[in-house]
Amino acid sequence: MSMKVTPREEDYSRWYTDVVLKAELADYAPVRGCMIIRPYGYALWENIQETLDAKFRATGHKNAYFPLFIPESFLAKEEEHVEGFAPQLAVVTHGGGKKLEEPLIVRPTSETIINAMFAKWIRSWRDLPLLINQWCNVVRWELRTRLFLRTLEFLWQEGHTAHATAEEAEEEARRILELYREFAEKEMAIPVIVGRKSESEKFAGAVHTYALEAMMQDRKALQAGTSHFLGQNFAKAFEITYQTRGNRLEYVWQTSWGLSTRVIGAIIMVHGDDQGLILPPRLAPIQVVIVPIWRSDKQEAEVRKAVEGVKDGLGGVRYEFDDRETYTPGWKFNEWEQKGVPLRIEIGPRDVGKRQVVLVRRDTGEKSIAPLEGLKGRIEASLEEVQKNLYRRALAFREENSYQVDDYEEFRRILEGPGGFLWAHWCGSAECEAKIKEETKATIRAIPFQEEEGGRCIRCGETSIQRVVFAKAY
């Protein structure tokens, strides 16, 4: 833990891995492509879960649990869906010492098994809307994996809903997108661009996919959550019908949406610095660490007494008192900086005499003196200030690295050089999209919701009705 992380400028990819390992967020598993989420990383995930779960509940969703295994035949029922996921499947062929008659797929997502149940549970308009969420693990067989960003198994939530009309389903898909956006910006302190995906980037089986895109510090995009309008694709594949008030039998309209442990990768890459992790206070497992300083037993007694007073006053703040004997204060400062704790309280004998503590912000390194009197208010205000500053900083970085581009040579130059988000016109054809990807490695990250603006496709010069966002992506 005492060694430094690789600087970002030197090797961004190694910097990322160093931060994850040194902060003890996760570790490599002895199974290829899998990871262990260590207690500190899992506590972060639990805070993410708790915050999102409250939002899902407040909008009428209920949690449930569906099986890990999906019969191979189920997956095949929705044609685009099976095509999209076939290369990524883990297959159970043996159980209880015998070969299975039908192999079982380890869920890569649960549309098929959940919709098989929806077909059974939904009878009439009274059963709609049906708003279900599931917290679980899923498996997608990836070749190149990275801690949190891409692992064979990951944790996520997946929402699955059924509605009486297309309008209601569309409204739900947009409501969740907005809920995710609010979560990303307010809780993770990450500014995001929301928009629709192109046909080639949408979810396998969806009519259209909405997503959140965030810019990492290497100027690449990371998708931080998706919300799909499924139309009646799965309803028709699984015969999910309901009796209307007027006694007709109709297919339901559906959505699905998910957010995964991948967002922890986004938090790391958006906020971290060359000292290590920086966590947004609202989600940080430890918001404040108290590091005491003493050189004698007498000093220890005084400082400990003062710390008790500080702790009593911190009700509601998530703090840790680090009184480990075998480490020096300096070693501890470094460790908690690597772990990204937003605020540090230092307290030594001189501070006790003056009835004060030293406050150190992780985001700016700024030190200040805070009187014991009214400390809690001061700390809460500082946490809020760190939260806002992280957001402001990330937003400024994204703005500095976003470009309106109308010339393909400039477009390529930026992508070969610094990289960034390129707002450019696109004719809407899959062909231009594919050529751009081939020539620059950039993909369309989002077709933003915005005013139309006439223009010419950056690749072919055909007419375009709006700019879309291109970037290289994780």
Q: CB of residue 235 vs a copy of itself: minimum separation in angstroms?
A: 17
Q: Which is nearer to a copy of itself, 42 or 336 (CB)?
A: 42
Q: CB of residue 152 vs a copy of itself: minimum separation in angstroms?
A: 8
Cis ω for the linkage preceding 292 (within 30 of 0): no
Q: CB of residue 94 vs a copy of itself: minimum separation in angstroms?
A: 4
For residue 406, which of 354, 346, 454 has the smallest C-alpha distance?
454
Q: Which is nearer to a copy of itself, 67 or 371 (CB)?
A: 67
For residue 268, which of 180, 390, 139 has the smallest C-alpha distance?
390
Tokens in use for 379? Answer: 């700390």
Q: CB of residue 348 vs a copy of itself: minimum separation in angstroms?
A: 24
Q: Which is nearer to a copy of itself, 27 or 274 (CB)?
A: 27
Give Cα separations from 118 to 26, 64, 231, 239, 243 (angstroms).
36, 12, 15, 9, 14
The DSSP letter of residue 295 is S
Q: Is 474 exposed, middle or buried (0-12, 13-18, 19+ CB in 10 A)?
A: middle
* Angle, CA 418 vertex, CA 409 and CA 33 arms, to 5°: 115
Residues 6+ apart with CB under 8 A from 84: 203, 204, 205
Q: Which is nearer to a copy of itself, 93 or 165 (CB)?
A: 93
Q: Which is nearer to a copy of itself, 118 or 411 (CB)?
A: 118
For residue 59, which of 157, 159, 127 has the smallest C-alpha distance?
159
Q: Which is nearer to a copy of itself, 38 or 393 (CB)?
A: 38
Q: Which is nearer to a copy of itself, 73 or 404 (CB)?
A: 73
Tokens in use for 110? Answer: 């649960």
Q: CB of residue 432 vs a copy of itself: minimum separation in angstroms?
A: 30
413 forms beta bridges with none
Q: CB of residue 474 vs a copy of itself: minimum separation in angstroms?
A: 19
Cβ distance 291 to 332 under 8 Å? yes
Give Cα separations from 284 to 15, 176, 210, 214, 267 (angstroms).
20, 24, 28, 20, 11
For residue 413, which of 379, 440, 453 has the smallest C-alpha distance?
440
Q: CB of residue 220 vs a copy of itself: minimum separation in angstroms?
A: 24
135 forms beta bridges with 157
Q: CB of residue 86 vs a copy of itself: minimum separation in angstroms?
A: 7
Residues 6+ apart with CB under 8 A from 140: 85, 88, 89, 108, 152, 154
Contacts with a copy of itself, residue ranges (CB under 8 A) = 27, 29-31, 34-39, 42-43, 45-46, 62-71, 74, 86-97, 103-104, 106, 113, 116-117, 120-121, 126, 132, 136-137, 139, 141-143, 152-153, 155, 326
Q: Which is nearer to a copy of itself, 15 or 42 (CB)?
A: 42
